[in-house]
Amino acid sequence: MSKRTYNMYCAIAKALDVVGERWTLLIVHEVLSGPKRFKDFLDHLPGIGTNLLSKRLKELEQADIIRHRKLPPPASSEVYEITEHGQGLEEVVLGLARWGTPLLGLPKPDELFCPVWALYAMKDRFVPENAKGISKTYEFHIDDDILQARVENQQIFPTQGAAWKPDVVITMDSATLLDIGTYQIEPMDAHQQGRVQVQGDVADYDEFFQLLVDAESGIERINLK
């Protein structure tokens, strides 16, 4: 069966011919944060099924959006990663994340949340004006995931994996991350209650979250209480 097409001379239609199928942009979302194994997709995309996942991955490879390769030893895992061409979809995914944030509400008990998805919240909520003069790397240990965010030249570069010589290491569980991210608790209150452990200067931990909020810039917190 030939691939479906809108058969329109329209840039949006042409893009949707490639990434408009169910699950496709969520797969792109996963690889934008770092290389993923086949199992990682199944863990993060409940309900997709192995056959459909294989089909979508093959389609994305054919479109030069992702590539499949084997990591060198000692890992030797087979992973999928974003290509330079696929990287151009990051702004599309970020735009959808911004548009969808007000639709979230509070997380439901049966909804899956993966800490790695917080990388997009970091990019979305980052306020460059608050980062003047800051050049630091923040490392986060959330459940079994390790994330990092480097702040330099009033830009933020969040990614998956451990940092080299982080300025501060912050440990919490995903429930605490969600509570902080949905403004159910202030970051410093979470630390004082023992829900967050900090290796390094606690002021650096507090500073990081100040980079994500600016009451005077017109960026408003989403009050979900």
Q: Per residue in 168-205, pLDDT tens? A: 999 999 999 999 988 889 999 999 999 999 999 999 99
- Quick one: how far is CA 216 from the chain centroid? 26
- Distance separating alpha carbons of residues 212 and 189, to the nearest angstrom: 17
- Residue reference for tokens 């696929």: 86
Is 215 within a domain? no
> Do 130 and 192 fall within a single domain?
yes
Is 225 within a domain? no
Is 93 within a domain? yes
Look at residue 103 and tell me whether its pLDDT is greater than 90: no
Is 222 within a domain? no
Is 124 within a domain? yes
> Do 88 and 167 fall within a single domain?
no
- pLDDT-derived band at 2 (thresholds 50, 70, 90) equals low
> Do 150 and 199 fall within a single domain?
yes
Q: Please give the residue that has the higher pLDDT: either 101 or 57.
A: 57
**Nearest in space to 122 (alpha carbons), one of 100, 143, 151, 145:** 151
> Do 45 and 128 fall within a single domain?
no
Q: Where among 103, 130, 154 does a domain terminate?
A: 103
- CATH number for the domain harbouring residue 92: 1.10.10.10
Cβ–Cβ under 8 Å, residues 107 and 117: no
> Do 129 and 203 fall within a single domain?
yes
- CATH number for the domain harbouring residue 129: 3.30.1050.10
Q: Where among 63, 79, 103 does a domain terminate?
A: 103
> Angle between the 50-62 and 24-32 helix axes, to the nearest 10 degrees?
70
The sign of the dihedral angle between the CA atoms of 159, 164, 168, 170 is: positive
In this prediction, residue 144 carries a pLDDT of 92
- Which residues span the domain enclosing 139? 115-210
Q: Is 134 helix (H, G, I), strand (E, B) or coil?
A: coil
pLDDT tens figures, 65-99: 999 999 888 877 899 999 999 999 999 998 998 88
- Distance separating alpha carbons of residues 132 and 113, to the nearest angstrom: 32
Is 108 within a domain? no
Is 4 within a domain? no
pTM over 0.85: no
Domain count, the chain: 2
**Nearest in space to 140 (alpha carbons), one of 117, 178, 168, 179:** 168
In this prediction, residue 92 carries a pLDDT of 94
- pLDDT-derived band at 225 (thresholds 50, 70, 90) equals very low
Is 191 within a domain? yes
